[in-house]
A and B are shown apart, each in its own frame.
Chain A
Amino acid sequence: QITLKESGPTLVKPTQTLTLTCTFSGFSLSTSGVGVGWIRQPPGKALEWLALIYWNDDKRYSPSLKSRLTITKDTSKNQVVLTMTNMDPVDTATYYCAHVYVDTAMAYFDYWGQGTLVTVSS
Chain B
Amino acid sequence: SSELTQDPAVSVALGQTVRITCQGDSLRSYYASWYQQKPGQAPVLVIYGKNNRPSGIPDRFSGSSSGNTASLTITGAQAEDEADYYCNSRDSSGNPHWVFGGGTKLTVL
Contact = CB atoms under 8 A, between A and B. Distances in A.
A52 to B, nearest CB: 6
Size category of the B interface is 20 to 34
B79 to A, nearest CB: 23
User: What DSSP secondary structure best describes chain A's contact surface?
Assistant: strand
Interface string B57-100: 00000000000000000000000000000101110001111111
Size category of the A interface is 20 to 34
A37 B98 contact: yes
A95 B97 CA distance: 18
Interface string B95-109: 111111111000000
Contact of B88 (A49, A60, A113): A49
A83 to B, nearest CB: 18
Given A63-B2, A96-B42, A108 B49 contact: yes
